[in-house]
Each structure stands twice: as C-alpha cells, then as structure tokens.
C-alpha cells in the first residue's frame, strides 16, 4: 500500500428516506467504539460548516425553483468539502469512517430520480470524489409505501422546516428505488442489503454481522 493510500475503512449507509439508516449508523458507531475502534461519523449533505450551509439551501422548501443541475452540483460541492476536510484525514489516521449517504445517493436521487442520467452524475463525481469509494455500503431496504408514509410523518413532525425532498412524488421514489436496485446488481460485493422493515434492534444485529468481518471484529 502506498503512503498516500488511506489506511482506514470507509463505510456508507444508503436507503430510501425513512429507511432508518441514520439510527443504524449511530448504533453501529457505538458498537464499534465499544469494540475499541476509532470511529468518525459524518452526514451528507453536510458534515462540515460549509456543507451545513449547502444542506440548508438544498432542503429549504422555499427553494422549489432549484434546478436539477444546480442541485446535483450542490450535493457534490458539499461532498467535495467533506472529503478533504473530514473523510480523508480520518482515513489517513486509520479510523473507520461511517457516512450517512454518499455518491450512491446522488446517482439514484439526481441521476435516476431527477432524470439527469448516470453519465452526468459520474462526470461530477470524478471531479468531487477523485476516486474515493466506500469499502462497504449498507443498504437498508424498505418498501415504497413505508418510505412514503415515514416521509410524510416526518414532514409533519418537522413543521415544514427541512422538507423539500420529502415532498417528492411516489413516482420519483419508485425511480430512486429502481436506481438502488441497479447499483446493487452491479456491485453485489460492495453492498450489504438488509431488510429495514423490522425492529431497530433486529436490523442492528444484521448490520453488525455484515460489518464485523470487514472491520476485523468478532461478529458474535
Ligand atoms: P437525509 O438527510 O439523509 O434524509 P433521510 O434521513 O430522510 O435519508 O437526506 C436528505 C434528502 O437529500 C433525502 O431525501 C435524500 C436527498 N439526497 C439527494 O437527493 N442526493 C444526495 O446526493 C444526497 C446525499 C441526499
């Protein structure tokens, strides 16, 4: 391994809105820390002070006029900043980095969901991510109906604050789910597909069994 190659492990969580990935990522982080690992948790869009500002632009419901192209570039702007400021330094320190969403999200939400196409997304990805790819991606699978129900419930609970993405149509989410299926079919060795419709405790057990061998921890 060259000295410039990151030493840590980069694990991402993906899934439809409401799939429970944020909860599961934090449960995994706790368990890894308990097992003595150094863990850094980050979130997309966001992760840095600049990223947090970009996130508020992206999720502001008064920004309905944001074009798909502008949206694509903003997601990658936030990611590029997060990679340099947070992710690469942590990997260089040998830490396990857990990210709530990464480039797969942009491929499926903007590429498939918004119809920008995979090539456009890949082109920007090359600039923003410079070859950084997750070692492993946990995909929490839920059905479309559950995703829409949870998105609506959260929408109401948020009192209309961070809701732009939650107001998408069922058809949009259908394309997003289909996009995930395509990506998983192409890289079955990277993705760990886990049924997210069960209790958080049961899901967390499966996540642990999927991740433990990769991080060299005891999976019991
Ligand atoms: P997130 O905060 O992960 O919400 P959730 O917890 O519901 O998954 O993401 C916010 C929204 O941003 C979500 O609807 C997915 C969307 N998104 C994209 O469209 N493209 C992207 O590249 C990313 C990272 C997120």
**Beta carbons of 78 and 51 less than 8 angstroms apart:** yes
Q: Average pLDDT, whole number, for the chain?
A: 91
Q: What pLDDT, on the 0 to 100 scale, is given for residue 216?
A: 84
Write the pLDDT tens digit of every residue in 86-119. Answer: 999 999 999 999 999 999 999 999 999 999 999 9
User: Does residue 133 or residue 152 have the better pLDDT?
Assistant: 133
* Averaged pLDDT, 175-181: 96
Residue closest by Cα to atom 8 of ligand 1: 17
Q: For residues 52 and 72, give the distance between their C-alpha atoms in angstroms, rounded to a whole number.
A: 16
Catalogue the E-assigned strands of the chain: 9-15, 39-43, 96-100, 136-141, 191-195
State the distance from the centre of ligand 1 to the C-alpha of 36, rounded, in angstroms: 30
Total-model pTM: 0.91
Which of 105, 107, 139, 173 has the most ligand 1 atoms within 8 A of CB, as the residue to mutate? Answer: 105
State the distance from the centre of ligand 1 to the C-alpha of 45, rounded, in angstroms: 7
Quote the percentage of the chain above a pLDDT of 70.
Answer: 92
User: Does residue 17 or residue 108 have the better pLDDT?
Assistant: 108
> How would you list the strands of the sheet with 136-141, edge to edge?
39-43, 96-100, 9-15, 136-141, 191-195
State the distance from the centre of ligand 1 to the C-alpha of 106, rounded, in angstroms: 8
Does the structure show a pLDDT above 80 at 134? yes
Task: Indicate which atom in ligand 1 lies nearest the CA of residue 114.
Answer: 19
* Averaged pLDDT, 140-147: 91
Which of 101, 108, 122, 149 has the most ligand 1 atoms within 8 A of CB, as the residue to mutate? Answer: 101
Tokens of 147: 């995703």
Element (H, E) at 155: helix 144-157
Q: Among the residues of 158-219, which ranges form H helices? A: 170-186, 200-215
Q: Which residues line ligand 1 (CB under 6 A)?
A: 17-18, 22, 44-45, 75, 100-101, 105-106, 109-110, 165
Write the pLDDT tens digit of every residue in 73-86. Answer: 999 999 999 999 99
Does the structure show a pLDDT above 90 at 163? no
Q: For residues 23 and 121, give the distance between their C-alpha atoms in angstroms, rounded to a whole number.
A: 28
**Virtual torsion, Cα 121, 58, 92, 97, nearest 10 deg:** -100
Does the structure show a pLDDT above 60 at 218? yes
């Amino acid at each position: 391994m060259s000295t410039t190659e990151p030493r840590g492990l980069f694990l991402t969580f993906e899934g439809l809105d409401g799939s429970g990935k944020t909860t599961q990522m934090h449960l995994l982080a706790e368990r890894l820390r308990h097992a003595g690992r150094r863990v850094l948790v980050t979130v997309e869009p966001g992760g840095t002070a600049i990223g947090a500002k970009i996130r508020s632009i992206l999720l502001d419901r008064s920004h309905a006029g944001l074009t798909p192209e502008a949206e694509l570039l903003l997601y990658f702007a936030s990611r590029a900043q997060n990679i340099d400021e947070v992710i690469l330094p942590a990997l260089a320190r040998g830490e396990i980095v857990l990210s709530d969403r990464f480039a797969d999200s942009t491929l499926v939400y903007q590429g498939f969901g918004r119809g920008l196409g995979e090539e456009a997304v890949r082109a920007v990805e090359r600039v923003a991510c410079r070859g950084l790819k997750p070692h492993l991606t946990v995909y929490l699978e839920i059905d479309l109906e559950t995703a829409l129900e949870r998105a609506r419930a959260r929408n109401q609970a948020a009192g209309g604050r961070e809701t732009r993405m939650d107001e998408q149509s069922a058809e949009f989410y259908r394309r997003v789910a289909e996009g995930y299926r395509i990506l998983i079919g192409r890289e079955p060795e990277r993705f760990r597909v886990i049924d997210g419709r069960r209790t958080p405790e049961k899901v967390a057990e499966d996540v642990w069994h999927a991740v433990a061998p990769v991080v060299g921890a005891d999976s019991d």
